[in-house]
Structure 1
Amino acid sequence: MAAPVDTQRLGTYTDMSAFAGLRSAAQKDSKAALPVVAKQFESIFTQMMLKSMRDASSALGDDIMGSQAGNAYRDMFDHQLSLTLSQGRGIGIADMLIRQLGGSAASPTAASTDPFAGVTGDASTVASVSSPSDQQSGLMDSLERMIGNAGRAVGEGADAVAGAVGKLSVSSPEEFVQKLAPHAIEAAKKLGVSVRALLAQAALETGWGKHMPAQGHTSSFNMFGIKAGSSWDGKRVNVPTLEYEDGVAVRRKDSFRAYDSPSDSFKDYADMVSSSPRYASAVGRGDDVAGFAHALVKGGYATDPSYARKLTDIANGPIMKQALAALKQIAAEL
């Protein structure tokens, strides 16, 4: 009986020795190894898709991560992301190949706990066919349908990888803005305020992504320093914090909200500010960053008496301007 393939090792792209085990298993029982091989093929396809997306993005202009080291790190991330996607339900290509090559697709029940269980192709489109020409036609049609799911799968996969890492990995204010700008744009639209204002507040609260409330080695992804009161029923972390009482800084321990991703943090922040009467005067401020900041402080958002000034200084400062200038592809929305 063939030894089972170590799929966990195959899920790490740097462990090349795992392929020796896969080759041995395939020689002894090719049908048993087919699901694993199909997932590896899907990861290669996903990596090709990611590379095409990166190349297209580079054509838009200078990339702030365009250094040799930055590109190397990005490629490592893309390699691991493609494998992370394929080890779950992926984008459906692996299941399609298994069916076309005579195997049995993974059981939906067995994969029900997978974070990508909802990201898959429509199994009804993968029909059994008899002739080689029909097989080729069916394969291409199914591939085209699966590609339609790829963008969503990559987005969800990126969040999953970020969650597994447990922290927001940024090396500069430019990278901080690049990663958070899409979330800030959505939140700013809901609040009717400047994207700059939200990015500046997130920078102020986290030190440009370097200091977020964390439990052990796992980040809370709390981009706005929102505390977890009695009404909060989500995850939380308890960490030391600096508060101001009568103008005097006091160090104490407090409970903060924790999220699965920076995107969730921005969404919760926008919901909280837009729904709270305390911050009604902060909503709809448009490009008035200073007015937005003072309205937040007036509503009791922060105890630091210099909070509004600090937020405004960051929003209008040279570091923020330089970071925003680097984002040519979204400059129109900023």
Structure 2
Amino acid sequence: MDILNTKSQLESARNVHDLSSLNRLREAAYSKDDKALKEAAQQFEAIFVQMMLKSMRQAQDALADKESPFNSEQVKFYRDMHDKQLAQDLSSGGGVGLAEIIVQQLGQHDIEDYIPASVARNDGNLASLNRQRQLRTEQAQQTAEVLSSAEHRQAFKAAAFESPQAFVEQLWPAASKAAAQLGIEPQALLAQAAVETGWGQHVIHQGNGESGNNLFGIKANASWQGGSAAVSTMEFDGTVARQQRAAFRTYDSLEQGFADYVQFIMQQDRYQSAVQQADDPKAYFKALQDAGYATDPNYADKVMAVYHSDSFRSYLP
């Protein structure tokens, strides 16, 4: 009987490290079988624990005495068998917590205080994530009325400048005036406008073909009294980009667009941290991103990449 029990344990340990267990994990997730998912998750955790033990053993072997009888191949053989069984026992007896996380993640259970993977990929910045979710909800509600208007259906994005050089040259006067009010460098605002519009090649145009002069992606909501146009835009949910339709403010001139940007930033409490750091472009755009100005998790880095680029610098007066 003892021999049969030992054989059963060894077979169980070997099955844990069978690569087909990974496939069973995937199938269990789709089948929504909680028991099967839990068992497969424990097998996956056993694989992970064994890999950790194996790495530890390899480090130990590198420093071991080659002449020692405790470092023979026979000892290593039984030691590896023991490690496999230990990994199996750990995973089935409570484990290290990995199996539970897998079950929660793949099982899609509504568990209180459970942090989803999207938060972990966002460096655990719960405040920023919740703020962005709230902003997206508010924007969706506020733009619903704007999107219902028939005049927005024909809006589109098109080039408004012949080249990046023309983009910088034409916008420099308006950017300089707006930058002076904010206390920031005009080239910093131009770098942001370049990211928002693809160097002026994707500027919102109204149905009549006239440019909306919105260079900073400022959305229109129910409280906006000016013109607006609805187009498709890319928004991020954590690190996942999604296409959606949204309404944006339109202006009669580029100067009016810059002036509204300054007012938009300076009059909202959430952007005051950015305003206070306007003399440092990197800190300014990071503060804007943290306050929810853009959903792109790499927004500030993209703006600073343009700001520091040699080609951009060559366009400046």
- What TM-score, normalized to structure 1? 0.46
Give the helix-richer structure, 1 or 2: 2
TM-score (norm 2): 0.48
